Structure 1
Amino acid sequence: MKLLDKKTAFDTVRLGIFIVVTTVATALLAVTIGNISFNQTTKYRAVFTDAVGLNKGDDIRIAGVKVGQVDKIALYQNTLAMVTFSVDSDQIVDTSTHATLRYRNLVGNRYIALTDGVGGGERLKKNGVIPKERTTPALDLSVLFNGFKPLFTALTPADVNQFAFEVIKVLQGEGGTIESLLAKTASLTTTLADADQVIGDLITNLTSTLQIVSQRQQNFSQLLVNLQQFITGLSKDITPILNSVGSINSLNTKTAGLLQQTRVPIKADLDKLRITASTLDDTQSIWVKTLQNMPTKLNSMTRTASYGSFFNFYMCNFDGNVTLPLGTRIPVAYDNNSARCQK
């Protein structure tokens, strides 16, 4: 008995340790995936002439390092956008700080970059506003890439992505120089010149396709915005998703065990059911005819028993059960409503 108690206590301790470790690991995973920060933050606001594509939860960065996130986006003075964002309290945002809306990648994800102005200034108070004169909206990629349309039609997707990303980085001031961009363009142009005939045929064949894509430009932009919102929603629901995955795994395990236990009895029942169905099918004409003639025969037997002397018994009613070969029991009952049987 003492050995059993010790084993139970040991198993309980092991279970407790497993639960604690699993909970801590899940929490760390949720914090990492959701980019959750526990630093003390200060809220500020910025006025943009255009904040399309920016969503709640997008990054606030200083020198490429995330220091906060977007909290709210609202219409301001009917033509502007007021963006409310939080920044770590140890980061200084002053009256010279400039806010720029930039592309994080070619899919359309955006973030706000904060840069210091010339000469510095006084530190903004909580909920302080960066005016539109010190904010810059994101690049219009549609106008930018339309200028490179003839170039892109003959490049591989990898080359297009690399070249487009370099263009964005240069124009946003994130790296590279105009000279390197021109060198890259010259290299691509030289490559294209070597395949002039191929490019000509390709442009001719894709003219109608490019026109259709250009006409659907707004729909494509909306698709990117909706995709960003979808990804943001998944990021917020990461904890329920992880919990549901664990529950589904547990359900699959239990279902597999249940099917394994009932597989043999179910197979035996199906085999017997197949035999019964085959027997009923083979004798269908017999039992169907018997059931059809049963009322007539019972009425004849009732009249004979009531008015003749052909039987040594008189039966008013009976009931019972009929047991089939497979063990199924069918109840059977009969009532005679003649005057002789009335009490």
Structure 2
Amino acid sequence: MRGENKRSVIVGIFVFLGIAILVAGVMTLGGQQKKFVKAIQLKAVFDDIGGLQPGNNIWFSGVKIGTVKKINFYGDSQVEVEMNVEQSVREFIRKDSKATISSDGLIGNKIIVIYGGTTVAPPVEDGDRLEAIMPLDTDSMMETLQENNQNLVDITNDLKVLTGKLAAGEGIVGAVMTDSLLADNFRSILSNLNRASINSNQMLNDLNSFTSKLNQEGNLFNDLATDTTMVTDLKATLESFKESAANTEELTAKLGEISTKLDDPNTSFGMLLNDPEFADVLKSTLNNTDSAAYNLNRGLEALEYTWPFRKGFKRKAKAEEDEN
């Protein structure tokens, strides 16, 4: 009898421990799944959930705030995810917040991450639907990474070929790197460029010195650039030159008219200058006039010895002698 009571006590103890462990497990799982806290329901529609399952966690700002309650097909080929979120964090999640699918670690379970939202928008309410943002596709990332790896291999091969050609002295760069004569010529070119640079600097210094001298007071160029009075006088001189040029042009035009008239045989001067017959007549007239004057002079000389005028010439000659 005593042995049976002992066995009953032991069985009761084990049953009590089992029930305690079961209750503790239920409480632990319920706490992790947020089964025993007040919650609101939020929804989001994704094109692809990438293996998300009911019971997966929901995170907000790095804090677990709920779990995935249910997954339903929506529309033609989309998926609607129903989420249980703690009511205590409702005021921090705004209606313009976004939901996306991520991973708990590098290869961990899928989770939903709620982020964003502005203080302008009001807090979410039970049954609200958040904007879903599609996550990066891991397969696409792997394909891109594989393509980048292949490109890197190609670049490495090309670089290997290029360095081999350079080492062999092929091409201009390779020749410069391996041919000592080309290297000397290159050094000579650099030396000439250096000398040209020095000469250019010297030229610039001389030019600066020359311009500084031009800017000194009393210099003609400085006066032309700064003296307003000289500028006025220079403008007046240029105006005088313009007037003189205009007068010269007018005089040239008048001289042209005169020369035109002198070339016209219908005018007096034109006939004098251009008519050869009139010139011959004029020469003949002058010759006749000269002959007449000569004959008149001979006649006047002979008149002195004629008897009517002889007494008068003698009286004139005597008066001239008395005066002397």
TM-score normalised over the length of structure 2: 0.39
Structure showing greater relative contact order (alpha-carbon pairs closer than 8 Å, 6 or more residues apart): 1
Q: Which has the larger radius of gyration?
A: 2
TM-score normalised over the length of structure 1: 0.37
